[in-house]
Structure 1
Amino acid sequence: MRFGVWVPLFGELADPRVVARLAASAEEAGWDGMFVWDQLWWRPPVSEVGDPWITLAAIAVATERLRIGPMVTPVARRRPTKLLRETTTLDVLSNGRLTLGVGLGGDQFAGEFSRSGDEVNDRVRAEKLDECLEILTAGWSGETVTHRGKHYLVDSVRFEPRPVHGRIPIWVAGFPGKLKPVRRAARYDGFFPVNLTSPDQLATAVAAVEAERGSLDGFDIAIELSPSTDVRPYATAGATWCLTDVDPSTLRLDDVRAIVEAGPPR
């Protein structure tokens, strides 16, 4: 199992310089990855919120080994071609260390969709997510992309440069008991089941992904756990990555720094 620091960019962590220094410390302490939330705003008492893409660029420059990425970005509120350019450029900047975490997002957390004029219908956002992933994977291939879908148009465009390793790994987030996110994840490189309650629930989700794919070779299962939770039952259930779960309502830089400096729970 590999271990990643996963933080919301709130409060003191809204400053990309602070997070970049944390990432450098995480690399020195033996962590395998540094992942960040992608939010426009959050509920009170949170008022300061940082941008994930600029922060990830700062992390990329400050580190040499860590895997990095947004975990997760709600793809439906982004233009696919712009996201394609951003992901490729960040992957090149990090020398091929980007993992793209994707999902539907949810308006229930902070009203990000309804209060900004974005799509609030889950079904429509799912359609947009699937179309966008098709455009991203086609664009990363270096071949000419022509896409005429229900929501997006790309008319005979070739996107260069390509990602360092030819394509960027995609982890799909979703609730473990729902079949559609499992099927979506099975088409890509990883599954991030959110709101897990037990190792048994994870084992059921892993079995569902394996049934869709036929094999889990080269496929990641990422989970979120509090730093004090025993990771061994989750590793036995199939997890390949464990991300630190930090409560945004009580987030303090000193607490995150202590978690980072303590190193991963190997």
Structure 2
Amino acid sequence: MRYAVSIPPFTDVTTVLALATEAEAAGWDGVFLWDHLQWSHPVEPHDPWVLLGAAAVQTERVLLGTLVTPLSRRRPWVVAKQMVTLDHLSNGRAVLGVGLGSPVDKDFTDLGDEGDARVRAEMLDESLDLIDRLWTGPTDFAGGHFTVQADFLPRPVQQPRPPVWVAGVMPNRRPLQRARRWDGIVPIGKGETALPAELADYLGRLEQPAPADWDVVAHWVEGVPAQEYADAGATWLVLSANPKTDADWVGSIRSRLTSLR
């Protein structure tokens, strides 16, 4: 089992970066940032990619990435370039977490982006295929949403590419099958977290067995032993906090950083 903290970059940037360095010092294995343009007033989101670049040069060991980036409102070729840059800055510690994203109004339709979940799922699948090609060689791509001719250099540090984790809202099967084609699943239950029994049931819906190195990135319900998640199939446990329900969410994360394991 590996352990990560998922930080909403909704406070001052120095605090976000301090949490990242404190997590590494306390022995955590990954630091991930939420990816939102707007959220719930008066929260003030910062851009996760800029902050991840800063975290890359202030840390040495932890994996770094987003949980999660909604690719349908991002140009996939820009994400491909951002990820390669992060991979080089971190010396091969970058992970791309993706999903459909929410809230649909503030992060999509209010900004003129696609709101229909079915269309956004199509764009997500096409974006992942395109990003994978851009990372690995010359690309001549024509899909339903994107047309690209490119040969992006440099290539990623990680070969053949950085890992891709795909979020899926339980108990939906389609995102689970999408994640099976990549490197891991980030199961999202009610209120983000899921109990081990729910996780095990969800993983049991896989149509084909997952590879041995496939990651299951579960949000950790406080007080539930890590071993129960491991028995259910989790390979990562993620600590986070919700600013909507916890006024002192920074303090809540910080207090748990020192209680790893």
Alignment TM-score > 0.5, same fold: yes
Q: Where does the alignment leave 5 or more consecutive residues of structure 1 unmatched?
A: none
AA aligned to 1:222 is V
AA aligned to 1:56 is L
Task: Judge conservation of contact 1:221–1:241 (CA < 8 Å) in 2.
Answer: yes
- The C-alpha deviation readout for 1:152-210, integer Å capped at 9, x for no partner, is 0102x11111111120100000113112101110000000010154322211222233x
- 2:145 maps to which of 112, 129, 151: 151
Q: How far apart in 1 are the matches of 2:240 and 2:23? A: 15
- 2:124 maps to which of 106, 124, 129: 129
- 1:140 maps to which of 135, 144, 164: 135
Please show how residues 9-24 of structure 1 align to structure 2 within 5 Å: 9-10=9-10, 12=11, 14-15=12-13, 17-24=14-21
Q: Is 1:3 the counterpart of 2:3 in the alignment?
A: yes
Q: Is 1:67 the counterpart of 2:43 in the alignment?
A: no
Please show how residues 140-179 of structure 1 align to structure 2 within 5 Å: 140-141=135-136, 143-155=137-149, 157-166=150-159, 167-179=161-173
- 1:101 maps to which of 97, 115, 122: 97
- 2:45 maps to which of 42, 49, 60: 49
The corresponding residue for 1:191 is: 185
Task: For CA contacts below 8 A with separation 6 or more, give which structure has more relative contact order.
Answer: 1
Q: How far apart in 2 are the matches of 1:87 and 1:98? A: 7
TM-score (norm 2): 0.92
Task: Judge conservation of contact 1:226–1:245 (CA < 8 Å) in 2.
Answer: no
Task: Judge conservation of contact 1:107–1:114 (CA < 8 Å) in 2.
Answer: no
Per-residue deviation, 1:38? 0.4
Task: Judge conservation of contact 2:7–2:16 (CA < 8 Å) in 1.
Answer: no
AA aligned to 2:94 is L
Q: How far apart in 2 are the matches of 1:176 and 1:99? A: 22
Per-residue deviation, 1:251? 4.5
Per-residue deviation, 1:103? 0.3
Say which SS state the counterpart of residue 122 (structure 2) adopts.
helix
TM-score (norm 1): 0.91
Q: How far apart in 1 are the matches of 2:185 and 2:32? A: 15
Task: Judge conservation of contact 2:87–2:158 (CA < 8 Å) in 1.
Answer: no
- 1:29 maps to which of 26, 30, 39: 26
* Number of residue pairs the alignment of both structures matches: 255
Q: Where does the alignment leave 5 or more consecutive residues of structure 2 unmatched?
A: none
Q: Quote the RMSD (CA, aligned, Å).
A: 1.5
Say which SS state the counterpart of residue 86 (structure 1) adopts.
helix
Per-residue deviation, 1:25? 1.4
The corresponding residue for 1:86 is: 82
The corresponding residue for 1:205 is: 202
Per-residue deviation, 1:130? 0.7
Q: How far apart in 2 are the matches of 1:51 and 1:215? A: 33
Per-residue deviation, 1:216? 3.0
